Chain A
């Protein structure tokens, strides 16, 4: 990023800082969440029930339709050609043979692509969706190895793929900066995240470390990762008059509509993005070049286009998680109190994105250390822009931090759980804010008991079963509670007592429609089948990111706001002949398909009756929740205690996870069935992070070397044991429904729990992920 952009972000950060101070000091009642959501107290409704997914029958029968499964008349198929150099210029691009190939309709290169504005990069604007700001196919410049240089459109996919193979490109190569060590040697820069610098200091941490009687100080490394959702990134697009219609796989439909409008220089209302089902996202299904190239090529050809990336294509043009090198140094007194906590290091990004992997995020709220030094430095490489991947920062940051805590526990000869409890903070260690909800101790107590932690041998390498070394480890995970601005929802209530909720939210496996139908049913006092939950369409209200585990909160707060508006409208409509006459909105509640007086439930009238008397077929309201000031007033986080048992083969070094338990403190659980799946899913991706996942980047030429599911290993059935998940179910009194989003917490702490178990089994401390068998031989 430029100096100007850095300055802009810093100024934004300073402004946020000043505002945060004012909000921190405000009375609770002035802040959203200051008064608990009434649904928290409601114990016998639909919330909390293990309802099976409402869209389950569609998914198991193959009738849920994904982006590449919608069609337009006269549609053509696209194929991309990718650069084979990391930096330089296209000297010549010969498309003649491709253009002459059977079925080819159009070949688009930088020479004939429409003029486009650069993409707005994610976080640069509340509605920005782009992975980076690089212009898309606008000139002869190459910025990374794998950048698209041509789009071929043909009548069939086979014809497009073949023609793409006929395009010849000659490059003038320039020297690219590809090596992490080389880049560090040239100098690093302060990492900025969503404005403020990734830097915190409390006291003199280095001096305190030097003076501490017991200390550990080590460097941990984590590699690049790819999301690898099983659904390939795909769009099916058409220009219908001046409207751009996109069937997308998206975790941010409204952002994408606005961003595509900026790029094509049209009004945001002229772009319609729909995405009813997303075949896995994990941070990867945002806006990348395939959206822009498909829409541009459709314009050039005057035909609708389907563009499905190949698996290699996903690796070439959709960014993943960047690598990190982290130092964690801990100093403690003999009783285990932390005197110094240092967590610093470097990550790689590109010059054109704003996403340094923020690995110190979990450390900011984890421990009550007397002194702290936290810092993220960045280098900029000539590579594909890195991006958010499940628990950005926390997934890899907790690996380093929680491995170090385990090392310190051994140095102190204190049980690792006991060490953590001795440093469990009572308030946020950095901001000093009170926690909205913090029950980590309870999560550890329940988890340790259920897992049988007491049977762990403290001495590494002490347990052997035949040729298998057996060990146990634990670690803390944490993820912030976010609620981003921009939420909005519409409720349409019909005279037959049916309600439709409309919000531009997303379903990519979380069970959004199911859990939110349960919530809406309780909120409106209706049965599940009296609720329709519409989502996945940019024309619906709200700018709602399915990311940062914030969608549940954003939808929850939006529906609360819309419900308030609905109650107000209903009371107005009810008039003087209603038993509710004369009541104010804050005196009534929804129950049994109608409204009642809060302290006199017998004073009741059904929605149907209210609408009938007013001769109304429907009442429709739309509302937005207040700004999310609660996250500046309380320190808001989810927590978990992860427990792992591994078996490491003494002969081959093969590590296997044999048992795993996640004990979660994530507020109230809305649907135990779908929540369990989200928890397990996070843990399984963490198992991959710990033992097998690595995107191999060739530092000689900038090429990703393993762009396939055969060469990038994700956990398969045989790698996954039965995973036990439990939770405190203690509601956060300051969030909608008392709930937290839970999509990311499961991957946090998992890597360290596995690494610590491997140490306990073998006596080998591996600080370099993934922990493959060669490192254990």
Chain B
């Protein structure tokens, strides 16, 4: 049994209680994925599973056999940053930096959701197909990722700029 993490095959843990988050942080030392509540309330542990965002603290690692996980380390590294990571720096979309990897992973998958036409609470026309990522759509769809330093405006600006065509 194996999980693919940032392209590398990793064996699933023996202890079925190990969350995907703890597998990443403690066993693999991929500490870019953060633990902020360990109960699905803050979004700091957001990672991508086959391109979709999940909260890794609420995911048991053994359930992800055969799946492809992308963490912040897989999106881009210092020196070869993902455009969204670069935009976070330009727009100061963080202060302490702790919620940041979760915000970035979440945003990448959020844009893909909108392109697939997945509606949100503020979507007006549920039959419209592709969703236009208005300011309200962006804010609503990112509301599962808490930021306590108050970098919300910078985060929105970074996402809007990076995915400009999606955001009108």
Contact = CB atoms under 8 A, between A and B. Distances in A.
A511 B32 CA distance: 20
A279 B26 contact: no
Contact of B96 (A71, A279, A715, A716): A279
Contacts of A311: 36-39, 41
Contacts of B32: 61-63
Interface string A650-685: 000000000000000000000001101110111111
B12 interface: no
B56 interface: no
A308 interface: yes
Contact of A57 (B30, B40, B89, B95): B89
Interface in B15-37: 15, 17-18, 22, 25-26, 29-37
Interface residues of B, number: 63
Contact of A66 (B76, B88, B98, B147): B98
A68 interface: yes
Contact of A678 (B38, B95, B98): B95
A276 to B, nearest CB: 11
Contacts of A677: 92, 95, 149-151, 154
User: B18, B26, B85, B95 — which one has the most chain A CB atoms within 10 A of its CB?
Assistant: B95
B5 interface: no
A62 B34 CA distance: 9
A61 B44 CA distance: 14
B46 to A, nearest CB: 12
B151 to A, nearest CB: 6
A381 to B, nearest CB: 26
B36 A232 contact: yes
A720 interface: yes
Contact of B145 (A52, A282, A717): A717
B98 A231 contact: yes
A717 B96 contact: no
A288 interface: no
A229 B99 CA distance: 10
A65 interface: yes
Nearest to A685: B150
Nearest to B18: A158
Given A71-B29, A230-B34, A682-B150, A279 B97 contact: yes
Interface in A124-172: 156-158, 162
B152 interface: yes
B77 interface: yes
B101 A232 contact: no
A510 interface: yes
B97 A277 contact: yes
Interface in B61-91: 71-73, 76-79, 81, 85-86, 88-90
Given A158-B18, A230-B146, A684-B152, A718 B140 contact: yes
User: A61, A231, A282 — which one has the most chain B CB atoms within 10 A of its CB?
Assistant: A61
Contacts of A722: 153, 156
Interface in A295-352: 308, 310-311
A60 B85 contact: yes
B116 interface: no
B87 to A, nearest CB: 9
A573 interface: no
Contacts of A202: none
Given A229-B148, A230-B98, A717-B143, A60 B35 contact: no
B98 A280 contact: yes
Interface stretch (A411-419, A522-530, A706-714): A706-714
A103 B3 CA distance: 25
Contacts of B99: 230
Nearest to B138: A717
Interface string A709-743: 11000111111101100000000000000000000
B97 A64 contact: yes
A222 interface: no
Contacts of B39: 311, 708-710
A720 B155 CA distance: 11
B31 A62 contact: yes
A709 B73 contact: no
A676 B139 contact: no
User: B25, B37, B148 — which one has the most chain A CB atoms within 10 A of its CB?
Assistant: B148
B27 to A, nearest CB: 9
Which size class do A's interface residues fall under?
A: 35 or more
A204 interface: no
A479 to B, nearest CB: 16
B96 A509 contact: yes
Contacts of B96: 229-231, 277-281, 508-509
Nearest to B87: A60
Contacts of B142: 717
Contacts of A422: none
B37 A717 contact: no
Nearest to B105: A62
Interface string B146-168: 11111111111000000000000
User: B90, B97, B98 — which one has the most chain A CB atoms within 10 A of its CB?
Assistant: B97
A685 B149 CA distance: 8
A717 B155 contact: yes
A56 interface: yes
A674 B148 contact: no
Contacts of B153: 680, 720, 722-723
B149 A509 contact: yes
Contacts of B154: 677
Interface in A269-284: 277-282
Interface in A82-116: none
Contact of B92 (A158, A674, A709, A720): A674
A53 B38 contact: no
A52 B36 contact: no
Given A683-B150, A708-B37, A717 B139 contact: yes
A720 B152 contact: yes
A69 interface: yes
B85 to A, nearest CB: 4
8 contacts: A55-B97, A57-B85, A58-B97, A60-B81, A62-B33, A280-B98, A508-B96, A720-B153
Given A68-B31, A720-B139, 11 more contacts: A57-B89, A58-B78, A60-B88, A62-B32, A64-B97, A232-B37, A280-B96, A509-B95, A510-B95, A717-B139, A722-B156
Interface of B: 15, 17-18, 22, 25-26, 29-42, 44, 71-73, 76-79, 81, 85-86, 88-90, 92, 94-101, 104, 136, 138-140, 142-156
- 8 nearest A-B residue pairs (beta carbon): A62-B32, A59-B97, A681-B150, A509-B95, A279-B98, A509-B96, A684-B150, A62-B72
